[in-house]
A and B are shown apart, each in its own frame.
Chain A
Amino acid sequence: MSGLAVGIAIIGLFAVYSATFTSQGPSSLYYKQLLWIAAGIVVMFLAIIPDYHTIGRFAYSLYIVSIVLLVLVMVVGRAGMGAQRWLSLGPIAFQPSELAKLAVVLALARYFAEDPRQSYGLTDLAKPAILVMIPLVLVLRQPDLGTALMLLLAASIVIVIAGLRIQALMVVCIVAATLAASVVLVPPVKGKVWNSLKPYQQKRIKAFLNPESDPLGSGYHAHQSKIAVGSGRITGKGFLQGTQSQLAFLPERHTDFIFSVIAEEHGLFGTGFMLFLYLALLLLGIETAKNAKDKLGALMAGGIVAMLALYVFINIGMTVGVAPVVGVPLPLASYGGTSIITTFLAIGLLSNIQMRRYMLFY
Chain B
Amino acid sequence: MLQGSPVIIQRRLPLLAAFVILIAVILFIRLWFLQAVKGEYYYDLSENNQIRPIRIKPPRGIIYDRNGRLLVENVLTFDISIVPENTPDLGKTIDALASLIQITPAEIHRALDSAASVRAKYEPAKVKEEVSWREVAVTEARHEDLPGVIVDPEHSRYYPHRGIASHQLGYIGRITREQLKREKTDRGRLSGQAGLERTYDTLLRGVSGRRMIQVNAAGMKVKDLGVEYPRPGKDLYLTIDIDVQIAAEEALGKRLGGVVAMDPTNGEVLALVSHPNYDPNLFPRGISPKDWEKLSTDPSFPLYNRAVQSVYPPGSIFKIIVALAGLDSGAITPDDEVTCKGAITYGRHSYRCWKKKGHGTLSLHRAIVESCDVYFYTMGERIGFDQIAKYARSFGLGSVTGIRLPDEKPGLIPTQAWKEKTLNAPWYPGDTYINSIGQGFDLLSPIQACQMISAIANGGFLYRPKLLKRIRNRENGKVTTFSPEHKGTIILNQKALEGVRRGLIGVVSERGGTGWAARSGLTTVAGKTGTAQVVAQKDLRKKLTGKIADHAWFVAYAPVENPTIAVAVLVENGGHGGATAAPIARKVIEEFMKSDGTKMAH
> B9 and A230: CB pair below 8 A?
no
Contact check, B42 vs A230: say whether CB atoms are below 8 A apart. yes
**Shortest Cβ distance from residue B429 to the other chain A in the assembled complex, whole angstroms:** 44
Q: Is A317 in contact with B27, judged by CB distance below 8 angstroms?
A: yes
Task: Knowing A275-B27, A286-B17 are in contact, say whether A229-B35 is a contact too (CB < 8 A).
Answer: yes
Shortest B86–chain A CB gap in Å is: 13
A206 within 8 A of partner (CB): no
- A231-B46, A249-B49, A283-B17 given as contacts; is B8 within 8 A of A119 (CB)? yes
User: Which residues B1-46 have CB closer than 8 A to chain A?
Assistant: 1-10, 12-13, 16-17, 19-21, 23-24, 26-28, 30-32, 34-36, 38-43, 45-46
B475 is an interface residue with CB less than 8 A from chain A: no
Judging by beta carbons under 8 Å apart, are A233 and B43 in contact?
A: yes
Cβ A360 vs Cβ B1 within 8 A: yes
A341 located at the interface, meaning its Cβ lies under 8 Å from any Cβ of chain B in the complex? no
Q: Is A326 an interface residue (CB 8 A)?
A: no
Q: Which of A131-139, A180-188, A287-295 contacts B (4 or more CB under 8 A)?
A: A287-295
B182 at the interface (CB under 8 A from A): yes
Q: Is the CB of B16 within 8 A of A157?
A: yes
Contact flag A297-B5 (CB < 8 Å), given A229-B35, A230-B41, A275-B28: yes
Judge whether A163 and B27 touch: CB under 8 Å: no
| B13 engages A278 (CB within 8 Å) | no
B interface footprint on A230-252 (CB within 8 Å = 1, 0 otherwise): 11111000000001101111000
B20 and A243 contact, CB distance less than 8 A: no
- Taking CB atoms, residues of chain A closer than 8 Å to B35 are 229-230, 232-234, 263, 267-268, 271
A231-B45 contact given A279-B20, A309-B23, CB 8 Å threshold: yes
B549 contacts the other chain (CB 8 A): no
A118 within 8 A of B: yes
In the docked arrangement, what's the CA distance between A220 and B13, Å?
A: 39
Is A217 engaged at the interface, CB distance under 8 Å to the other chain? yes
Q: Bound complex: CA of A24 vs CA of B116, how far in Å?
A: 8
B225 and A230 contacting across the interface, CB-CB below 8 Å:
no
For the complex, is B183 an interface residue (Cβ under 8 Å from A)?
A: yes
Tell me, yes or no, whether A322 is within 8 Å of chain B by CB. Answer: yes
**Nearest Cβ distance between residue B221 and chain A, in whole angstroms?**
15
B122 on the A face (CB < 8 A): yes
Give the distance in Å from the alpha carbon of A283 to the alpha carbon of B21 in the complex.
Answer: 8
- Complex Cα distance, B39 from A228, in Å, reads 10
The one of B3, B7, B42, B212 in contact with A229, judged by C-beta atoms closer than 8 angstroms, is B42
**CB-based nearest B residue for A279:** B24
Q: Chain B: which residue is nearest A286 at the CB level? A: B17
Closest chain-B Cβ to A353's Cβ sits at a distance in Å of: 11
A39: CB under 8 A from chain B? no
Contacting pair B36 A231 (CB below 8 A): no
Q: Size of chain A's interface in residues, with CB distance under 8 A?
A: 65
Question: Which residues in A have their C-beta under 8 angstroms from that of B32?
Answer: 268
Q: A216-B212, A290-B13 are in contact. Are A268 and B31 (CB under 8 A)?
A: yes
Is B356's CB within 8 Å of the partner chain A?
no
Provide the bound-state CA to CA distance between A289 and B21, in Å.
16
Q: Are B39 and A248 in contact (CB under 8 A)?
A: no
Interface residues of B in 438-457 (CB under 8 A from A): none
With A229-B34, A230-B34, A279-B20 given, is the CB distance from A161 to B13 under 8 Å?
A: yes
Query: Which residues of A are found within 8 Å of B47, using beta-carbon distances?
Result: 231, 243
Q: Are B9 and A161 in contact (CB under 8 A)?
A: yes
Which secondary structure dominates where chain B touches chain A? Answer: helix
Tell me which residues across on chain A come within 8 A of B24, comparing CB atoms: 275, 278-279, 313
* Closest chain A CB from B548 CB (angstroms): 41
| Residue picked from B20, B49, B122, B225, most chain A C-beta under 10 Å | B20
Chain A residues positioned under 8 Å from B41 (CB to CB) = 230
Enumerate chain A residues within 8 angstroms of B43, measured Cβ to Cβ: 230-231, 233
Q: Is A81 an interface residue (CB 8 A)?
A: yes
User: Chain A contacts of B42 at CB under 8 A?
Assistant: 226-227, 229-231, 233
A160 on interface, CB distance cutoff 8 Å: yes
**Contact, CB under 8 Å: A247 / B121:** yes
Q: Does B53 contact A (CB under 8 A)?
A: yes
- Tell which of B7, B41, B51 has the most Cβ of chain A within 10 Å: B51
Question: What's the Cα separation between A264 and B35 when bound, in Å?
Answer: 9
Segment with Cβ contacts to B, from A2-10, A63-71, A100-108, A298-306? A298-306
B10's partner among A88, A290, A320 (CB-CB below 8 A) is: A290
- B228 contacts chain A at the CB level, 8 A cutoff: yes
Q: Are A163 and B16 in contact (CB under 8 A)?
A: no
* Contacting residue for A118 out of B6, B34, B117, CB 8 A: B6
- Contact residues of B between 199 and 247, Cβ < 8 Å to A: 212, 225-226, 228
| Chain B residues with CB below 8 A from A272, complex form | 28, 31
A350 to chain B, nearest CB (A): 14
Determine the distance from Cα of A26 to Cα of B122 in the docked complex, in whole angstroms: 19
A91-111 interface bits toward B, Cβ cutoff 8 Å, 1 = contact, 0 = none? 001000000000000000000
Among B21, B35, B39, which residue has the most Cβ atoms of chain A within 10 A?
B35
B27 touching A80, Cβ below 8 Å? no
| Interchain CA distance A292-B117 in the complex, whole Å | 53
Which chain B residues numbered 30 to 80 have a C-beta less than 8 Å away from chain A?
30-32, 34-36, 38-43, 45-47, 49, 51, 53
Please name all residues of chain B whose beta carbon is closer than 8 Å to the beta carbon of A34 when the two chains form the complex. Answer: none
| Interface assignment of B540: CB less than 8 Å from any CB of chain A | no
Which residues of B are in contact with A by a Cβ distance under 8 Å? 1-10, 12-13, 16-17, 19-21, 23-24, 26-28, 30-32, 34-36, 38-43, 45-47, 49, 51, 53, 116-117, 120-122, 182-184, 212, 225-226, 228
10 A-B pairs in the complex with CB atoms less than 8 angstroms apart: A22-B117, A161-B16, A230-B39, A231-B47, A233-B36, A233-B40, A263-B31, A264-B46, A305-B20, A360-B2
A268-B32, A321-B30, A360-B1 provided; 14 other pairs, C-beta below 8 A? A161-B13, A163-B9, A227-B42, A227-B45, A228-B46, A229-B42, A233-B43, A234-B35, A243-B47, A248-B121, A267-B35, A275-B27, A313-B24, A320-B30
Q: What is the interface of chain A, defined by CB distance below 8 A to chain B?
A: 22-24, 78, 80-81, 88, 93, 118-119, 157, 160-163, 216-217, 220, 226-234, 243-244, 246-249, 263-264, 267-268, 271-272, 275, 278-279, 282-283, 286, 289-290, 292-295, 297-299, 302, 305-306, 309, 313, 316-317, 320-322, 360
Instruction: Return the 3 tightest CB-CB contacts between A and B, nearest first.
Output: A230-B42, A233-B39, A298-B5
